[in-house]
Structure 1
């Protein structure tokens, strides 16, 4: 995986990583990823040695970029940092053993269900005191919401993110006379015009398994709102209910505008079709499609718009923008030093230093100097800052076993046969029972 692939794991191994993570979340200690630090035995004060950092930034580019960030911290604080890097996918797959065995003082992780789950098991350190201080001024209320556990306390420091939306080439829109749609009906009308002009209106590649989960998210929170969406992901809503049926009914309206054989195409090839002008739009993340446009030398001809409004009650108040960041051990070897490192990680200086290696993602800090960003990044910043709510992508917002074994298969079944929505949602609801306890 190079730096420009999505940060949860290699796109070719995402489903395997989800399965591996699910296998560990039962909280039974198993052999695997060795604990890297000594934080499990400490209480937080006497040791003044290096701060230990557990990192899943294992590929060469992100590994080097993170090392530069830590060098900046050491130069400013005079505190050394020991970086313990583990293979990106292995870190996810063996995270439970790592956390139970005594994690590093600070470690890399993700916002969303993945955060809340381990926080609820007391395997993540409470950093609410940092959020009540200077940290909060760097972030929006939506980012704080994404960093908060089920108990209302904060456990996470956002580092960088990238939004999902509908991406397109402005030059193609200008040439064809297309305008950005505001409503779902306008979206359907635009897709019809594109189809009439010989374009594939919606590029789609689902052979990787996960990409169309993002489309489900967009349509669900546009149809039913943020609260319903996050509660559905948490197993607190009925998958066989009318609201989920409405989501699939709305999605069905789009399918005639999909590229043929989406299940046999990977997301890279789909994104390339937008780059080449063969397809008009694609629901994807800036980091994914931006990778293809950057490599093709056309990043300046890439733009996006928020997924259109479906229900006026919710408008476009929610967006999807997965957030990567860092957590603290429940008992860091030196809590003060761990706090200093997390505070530095929250700074615009640290995040911008890291993102020199990535022209498709954005610093989480609202204090980042946007003048150093390209046009795409500048729009991403405004998009994220203006959002009332931020979701993390389905596989980060729900039980990992449910995501890999039920959600992916169900979405694929829907794409194969969109005419039995009632049977589909009943099957999902039945399978969900083994993952969510009422």
Structure 2
């Protein structure tokens, strides 16, 4: 595949045709079990109040932006929206993982007017089930988005249900000062990567910072290894349930990962991604595979010391041009208490002013609106934009490219079991495949 030269070209690859047309027929298998948190009000919508009726000057938002930087971005965007419209945003912030685990029951109950969510499979899943509102008319007022961004925001019925706000690539991050101190060089292939990690171990560093307490970070490791070993098309077909997890191709991914695990930070299941990032920040670790948002864990002076490289090639025929670059954004509830205000908010969020606030506030993401003033991007952000622009294929991330029930109830526990005990790969993959067949044929 030729190298994309424009944002539209690379973003056109964000929604693979083999995935986009799948019928989402079943409910989240684990939602009932996870839904207990709803009873405690942890993910109950602010929209339960009567403040969103006709003539209201408020709109409610359910937000997973629980980390300081994205929370600050949303607060500033909401404040600017109130200044321009006179409408106040009542933000219901919930821990990121709790939000994701309970989203299905939340949307079937009394959700907020607008809520944070993701492009890709997960957006289309709720759109197809009638759990999201049609915002096609909002898109009629938006500018600065390529056709590819619009495609990433469109449900299987051709209507838009999502307004993109930001995106970010996954790569291997490191501190330049540490690498300069030890004379490390960016590896070009897996052998060089492994040799580098072993040298870091000899130098007293943790070679690869790692965390999976929350279940999702390890998905990024699986994604990149599968993309490097088996290529993009096999990866998206595997996510779509079209390939067998018991195949030799998938076994090779886990065998390769098992060989790398001793070079990862131990006890990962008890550590959050932020804690792993602190290991890099404190110069205790040499590398960290994560999204660009890792920069949020460094102060302004330290951010100039961060650099990254794309995970190196494993198979020279496949190369190293595919990567994960998820899109984050906003959706509207199917029956918002204040639909007019909800759409006004989404129009503002999709505009240049909101994008400029993000550029000025968040060093860990790239803005989706091409009309934004990106002159304020850090060197790290500029390099990240170049990385995404040079990618030949772009995935959304494992739990966004496959069925949400499969990701949450099968893959998360399976990967955590593998990290805990990587010896029985065959048995693990047989279990995944059996559960996949049950879920994808239901």
TM (norm. structure 1) is: 0.77
Check whether the contact 2:142–2:351 (CA below 8 A) recurs between aligned residues.
no
Q: Which residue of 2 aligns with 1:108?
A: 116
Cα 1:319–1:150 change in 2 (3 A) is farther
Cα 1:398–1:246 change in 2 (3 A) is same
Cα 1:266–1:379 change in 2 (3 A) is same
Question: Secondary structure of the equivalent of 1:85?
Answer: strand
* CA displacement at 1:345 relative to structure 2: 1.2
| Alignment partners' CA distance in 1, 2:274 and 2:75 | 29
2:180 matches 1:174? yes
Cα 1:24–1:398 change in 2 (3 A) is farther
Question: Secondary structure of the equivalent of 1:138?
Answer: coil
Check whether the contact 1:238–1:429 (CA below 8 A) recurs between aligned residues.
yes
Check whether the contact 1:159–1:345 (CA below 8 A) recurs between aligned residues.
yes
Q: Which residue of 2 aligns with 1:281?
A: 287
Cα 1:121–1:242 change in 2 (3 A) is same
Determine which of 216, 232, 239 is the counterpart of 1:233. Answer: 239
How far does the alpha carbon of each residue in 1:254-311 deviate from its partner, in whole angstroms, 9 at most, with x for none?
23433444445554443333334333211122323x244328x522111111112234
2:381 matches 1:377? yes
Determine which of 337, 340, 351 is the counterpart of 2:355. Answer: 351
Q: How many residues align?
A: 408
Cα 1:37–1:257 change in 2 (3 A) is closer
- Give the unaligned 5+ runs of structure 1: 1-19
| Alignment partners' CA distance in 2, 1:58 and 1:186 | 37
Check whether the contact 1:200–1:278 (CA below 8 A) recurs between aligned residues.
yes
Question: Secondary structure of the equivalent of 2:298?
Answer: helix
- Give the unaligned 5+ runs of structure 2: 1-27
TM (norm. structure 2) is: 0.76
Cα 1:377–1:435 change in 2 (3 A) is same
Determine which of 256, 261, 273 is the counterpart of 1:255. Answer: 261
Mapping 1:93-104, distance limit 5 Å = 93-101=101-109, 103-104=111-112
Mapping 1:45-60, distance limit 5 Å = 50=57, 52-56=59-63
Question: Secondary structure of the equivalent of 1:281?
Answer: strand
2:366 matches 1:362? yes
| Alignment partners' CA distance in 2, 1:162 and 1:276 | 23
| Alignment partners' CA distance in 1, 2:61 and 2:194 | 46
Q: Superposition RMSD on alpha carbons, in Å? A: 3.9
Check whether the contact 1:138–1:347 (CA below 8 A) recurs between aligned residues.
no
Question: Secondary structure of the equivalent of 2:417?
Answer: helix
Determine which of 322, 326, 331 is the counterpart of 1:322. Answer: 326
| Alignment partners' CA distance in 2, 1:277 and 1:138 | 39
Mapping 1:412-423, distance limit 5 Å = 412-423=416-427
| Alignment partners' CA distance in 1, 2:63 and 2:260 | 37
* CA displacement at 1:216 relative to structure 2: 0.7
* CA displacement at 1:88 relative to structure 2: 4.3
Cα 1:378–1:24 change in 2 (3 A) is farther
| Alignment partners' CA distance in 2, 1:416 and 1:102 | 38
| Alignment partners' CA distance in 2, 1:64 and 1:275 | 21
* CA displacement at 1:125 relative to structure 2: 3.0
| Alignment partners' CA distance in 2, 1:51 and 1:355 | 26
2:210 matches 1:204? yes
Cα 1:25–1:351 change in 2 (3 A) is farther
Question: Secondary structure of the equivalent of 1:187?
Answer: helix
Cα 1:81–1:416 change in 2 (3 A) is closer
